[in-house]
Amino acid sequence: MTALAGTVRHARYVIGENPVTGLAFALFVLIVFVALVGPYIVPIDPLASDTVEALKSPSLRHWFGTDQLGRDIFSRVVVATRLDFGIAVWSVVLVFVMGGLAGVAAGFFGGWIDRIVGRVADTIMAFPLFVLAMGIVAALGNTVTNIVIATAIVNFPLYARVARAEANVRREAGFVEAARLSGNGDVRILAFQILPNVFPILVVQMSLTMGYAILNAAGLSFIGLGVRPPDAEWGIMVAEGAAFMVSGEWWIAFFPGLALMVAVFCFNLLGDGLRDIVDPRRRT
């Protein structure tokens, strides 16, 4: 309980003393709130088309304007937050389970487990990651589930290597030797000694790769391999609006692109803040 209270006090100190970190956490809370309740509070149906209102610039009725089908862009941007945020969350959870556990096992046990995990990570990294994600989605089909799987696979080497390095350092630590001398087996040591010490580092990595997961999903949608229309998704909306930039309808691509930029910016800064919170060397 004392350790938890100390962590909370340090977190409050980091957020309070660093305005950029405080902004990142505030943006994160806002994104989560919009993802949870946004679809229920949007003023206009995001799928409702009205050709009379097509290509209207931002106004009091349509805050972000309308697209070529007369759909309200503000409502579509808000609704798309849940889909993009959900893809990011589920992809990092999946890669945390796959890459994190595989890396911890490789670093702790070594031997053939280490060689297999290392070869799998090297094989994935031999491909350009976005091209590999394209190939996986094209082979499996462009569904949300397959986008999550593809994003998790391309991030596997990063999590596996970070977890392996941290577990490899700690497997000879004094607290591990003490647990082993107390009669604990390898599995129990791995679960109760190694994983709790590696987990904070992976949490920081999860925050950093959530931004990449959103970019990856938007990129796949932009080239036609992601979420299918008419579902609202930031990448699709940017792709649809790009064709109208030349004729002056800038708002169609601008506002979804702005939401995408803010989300990635938030998660990158959030990762820096979490690093300051979980790193004991930064505590005073």
**Domain for residue 242, yes or no?**
yes
**Domain for residue 16, yes or no?**
no
Burial of 43 (0-12, 13-18, 19+ CB in 10 A): exposed
**Domain for residue 15, yes or no?**
no
DSSP state of 59: -
* DSSP per position, 144-196: HHHHHHHHHHHHHHHHHHHHHHHHHHHTTSHHHHHHHHTT--HHHHIIIIIHH
> Which tens digit of pLDDT belongs to each residue from 233-259?
898 899 888 888 888 889 999 999 999
Amino acid 204: pLDDT: 80
Q: What is the mean pLDDT of residues 172-189?
A: 81
Q: What is the three-class DSSP state of 72?
A: strand
Q: What is the three-class DSSP state of 245?
A: coil
Amino acid 7: pLDDT: 59
Amino acid 111: pLDDT: 86
Identify the residue whose tokens are 């046990």: 109
Q: What is the three-class DSSP state of 66?
A: strand
**Domain for residue 170, yes or no?**
yes
> Which tens digit of pLDDT belongs to each residue from 2-39?
555 655 665 676 666 677 778 888 899 999 999 999 88
Amino acid 45: pLDDT: 86
Q: How confident is the model at residue 278 (pLDDT cuts 50, 70, 90)?
A: low
Q: What is the mean pLDDT of residues 143-167?
A: 90
Neighbouring CB atoms inside 10 A of 217's CB total 29
**Domain for residue 182, yes or no?**
yes
Domain CATH for 43? 1.10.3720.10
Q: How far apart are CA 122 and CA 247, in angstroms?
A: 46
Q: What is the mean pLDDT of residues 119-143?
A: 89
**Domain for residue 10, yes or no?**
no
Amino acid 13: pLDDT: 66
Amino acid 85: pLDDT: 92
Number of domains in the chain: 1
Question: Percentage of the chain surpassing pLDDT 90?
Answer: 26
Mean residue pLDDT of the chain comes to 85
DSSP state of 239: H
Q: How confident is the model at residue 117 (pLDDT cuts 50, 70, 90)?
A: very high
> Which tens digit of pLDDT belongs to each residue from 52-108?
888 888 988 888 989 888 899 999 999 999 999 999 999 999 999 898 889 988 988
Amino acid 177: pLDDT: 81
Amino acid 3: pLDDT: 56
CA nearest to 148, candidates 66, 82, 93: 93
Amino acid 10: pLDDT: 59
Neighbouring CB atoms inside 10 A of 103's CB total 29
**Domain for residue 3, yes or no?**
no
Range of the structural domain that residue 131 is part of = 36-273
Neighbouring CB atoms inside 10 A of 26's CB total 12
Amino acid 33: pLDDT: 93
Question: CA Rg, the chain, in Å?
Answer: 22
Q: What is the mean pLDDT of residues 228-237?
A: 85
Assess whether pLDDT exceeds 90 at residue 195.
Answer: no
Amino acid 2: pLDDT: 57
pTM for this prediction: 0.85
Amino acid 91: pLDDT: 92
Q: Mean pLDDT lowest for which of 13-22, 51-60, 210-219, 264-273?
A: 13-22
Q: Which pair of structure tokens corresponds to residue 144?
A: 């949300």
Amino acid 49: pLDDT: 85
Question: Percentage of the chain surpassing pLDDT 70?
Answer: 90
**Domain for residue 27, yes or no?**
no
